[in-house]
Chains A and B, each alone.
Chain A
């Protein structure tokens, strides 16, 4: 028996790749808060990230791997789960589960699409080629001007706020699921882990949503 082909093995894979991405998202959110330091804050932060290119690329590789494996395993699980009940109930009441738990595959797919658009916009400058040449007074790549230009547009601001709501839904179930799937819960910790996971999801959502809100309403200039 190969553990990774079993139902439990796939849960481990979902949990570990999910955790990698949650840690990244947490770091990304904290890094984004440097926007509140104005152009100097965000541009200096962005410059630091690029100090050691091999490290940056190794990190990007790890994230891409986690992203792809998480999506493939998630879709496999979804298809297997659908096949496990070929005839649906005419009448079924749920008691414990939540909207966020029942929509994991859909919020996951939406987040996958969001990540691709987000990379196209701010990393590859696919929608505004001129952004690639932005330079600030200190000769650094001017991330702040780029982000301000993007998020001043109400449609892009709404798009990012919408994405944060989807992320919140995904993580409300996802973070506590990691602990359960990896066997890290017991009778005593189950409730606290469940609440803790939801708390972290809310903290992440608030941290992220502050950026488009403050830029759009001109609080951060």
Chain B
């Protein structure tokens, strides 16, 4: 089938192939033929993989789960941009109509010391889970479902908290940061709990525990490039990092009682 006969495209892919965590890895070239502009980026990779399997070759390993932009699994650096050349989307929501016939597409895994590559495009994002385990929760006893408006929350705080809670932990912020810093992720988690009355009680302990856990994972430091904000599929703003800085600074004069990381309720 000719690529352009039905508006379909032929593309050249340069994909990162790496056998396992110990392998050095390299970019390898593949041809993606007859790709419909209506396909998602992951469907295009499915087509390429089917072809590879038919030829008896090892398919390209990539992470995916929901394929509707909420699980945060599809971690791919597409043509140098986390989740590819579109705004406020994950790689699974990227459509092939963003590309044109004959394009060369570079696909690489997230690059960070804290995200070791397991195979090809799949990385271990367990570092983000361990940060959540350190204090990404509230240990208040909430009981049953409360009546609406039983606890009054200002509109501004409710909105900001919801904005922060949109974080799906995909790691695009780390991937696109020139320093591989996870501060947008951590600041979103610190803020979405700290802005609400139930989470505010433990805000001081939370920010200290989560920053400590973040540093222990070997992420870089934020130097205010704001690349994270540019590629965040959920549009989380870098001003949450400022809010986190403020939260930690507030704890300096009177540090809260330390609790063991991973403790809580």
Which A residues fall within an 8 A CB radius of B?
A: 1, 3, 6-12, 77, 80-81, 83-97, 101-102, 104, 173, 176-177, 179-187, 190
Expressed in whole angstroms, the Cα–Cα distance for A97 and B177 within the complex equals: 10
Q: Which listed residue, B179, B208, B224, B249, touches A180 by the CB 8 Å rule? A: B224
Which B residues fall within an 8 A CB radius of A?
A: 14, 16, 25, 27, 77, 79-81, 106, 108, 111-114, 176, 178-181, 183, 208, 211-212, 214-215, 218-227, 229-231, 237-239, 241-249, 251-252, 255, 258
* B113 with A95: CB separation less than 8 A: no
Instruction: Provide the residues of chain A in CB contact with B214, threshold 8 Å.
Output: 7
* B226 with A90: CB separation less than 8 A: no
Expressed in whole angstroms, the Cα–Cα distance for A87 and B227 within the complex equals: 18
4 tightest A-B contacts by CB? A183-B246, A84-B220, A183-B245, A81-B179
* A180 with B245: CB separation less than 8 A: yes
> 14 A–B contact pairs at CB < 8 A?
A1-B255, A7-B214, A8-B211, A11-B221, A12-B249, A80-B220, A84-B113, A85-B112, A91-B14, A92-B80, A95-B176, A97-B226, A97-B227, A101-B224
Instruction: Provide the residues of chain A in CB contact with B114, threshold 8 Å.
Output: 84
* A95 with B239: CB separation less than 8 A: no
CB distance from A52 to the nearest CB of B (A): 32
* A183 with B249: CB separation less than 8 A: yes
Residue on A nearest B207 in the bound complex, by CB: A8
CB distance from A217 to the nearest CB of B (A): 38
Apart from the given pairs A6-B248, A83-B218, 19 other A-B contacts in the complex at a CB distance below 8 Å:
A1-B255, A8-B245, A11-B221, A77-B223, A81-B221, A84-B218, A85-B112, A89-B108, A90-B27, A95-B176, A96-B225, A97-B227, A102-B178, A177-B224, A179-B242, A180-B224, A183-B242, A184-B242, A187-B237
* B237 with A94: CB separation less than 8 A: no
Q: Is the interface of B mostly helix, strand, loop or mixed?
A: mixed
Q: A7-B211, A95-B81, A104-B223 are in contact. Are A85 and B111 (CB under 8 A)?
A: yes
Expressed in whole angstroms, the Cα–Cα distance for A60 and B131 within the complex equals: 42
Expressed in whole angstroms, the Cα–Cα distance for A182 and B250 within the complex equals: 11
Expressed in whole angstroms, the Cα–Cα distance for A190 and B226 within the complex equals: 12
CB distance from B207 to the nearest CB of A (A): 9
Residue on B nearest A9 in the bound complex, by CB: B248
* B111 with A96: CB separation less than 8 A: no
Expressed in whole angstroms, the Cα–Cα distance for A3 and B252 within the complex equals: 7
Instruction: Provide the residues of chain A in CB contact with B255, threshold 8 Å.
Output: 1, 3
Expressed in whole angstroms, the Cα–Cα distance for A163 and B255 within the complex equals: 42
CB distance from B157 to the nearest CB of A (A): 12
Residue on B nearest A185 in the bound complex, by CB: B242
Expressed in whole angstroms, the Cα–Cα distance for A134 and B244 within the complex equals: 54
Expressed in whole angstroms, the Cα–Cα distance for A94 and B80 within the complex equals: 8
CB distance from A208 to the nearest CB of B (A): 24
Q: Which listed residue, A11, A91, A94, A96, touches B245 by the CB 8 Å rule? A: A11
Expressed in whole angstroms, the Cα–Cα distance for A186 and B241 within the complex equals: 10
Q: Which listed residue, A83, A94, A186, touches B227 by the CB 8 Å rule? A: A94
Q: Which listed residue, B14, B219, B247, touches A183 by the CB 8 Å rule? A: B247
* B239 with A185: CB separation less than 8 A: yes
Expressed in whole angstroms, the Cα–Cα distance for A91 and B238 within the complex equals: 24
Most chain A beta-carbon contacts within 10 A, residue among B223, B239, B248: B223
Expressed in whole angstroms, the Cα–Cα distance for A152 and B14 within the complex equals: 57
Instruction: Provide the residues of chain B in CB contact with A95, threshold 8 Å.
Output: 81, 176, 227, 230-231
* A102 with B225: CB separation less than 8 A: yes
Expressed in whole angstroms, the Cα–Cα distance for A9 and B208 within the complex equals: 11
* B211 with A6: CB separation less than 8 A: yes
* A90 with B223: CB separation less than 8 A: no
Instruction: Provide the residues of chain B in CB contact with A10, threshold 8 Å.
Output: 221
Instruction: Provide the residues of chain B in CB contact with A185, threshold 8 Å.
Output: 239, 242
Expressed in whole angstroms, the Cα–Cα distance for A10 and B181 within the complex equals: 14
Expressed in whole angstroms, the Cα–Cα distance for A91 and B176 within the complex equals: 11
Expressed in whole angstroms, the Cα–Cα distance for A88 and B110 within the complex equals: 10
Expressed in whole angstroms, the Cα–Cα distance for A96 and B197 within the complex equals: 34
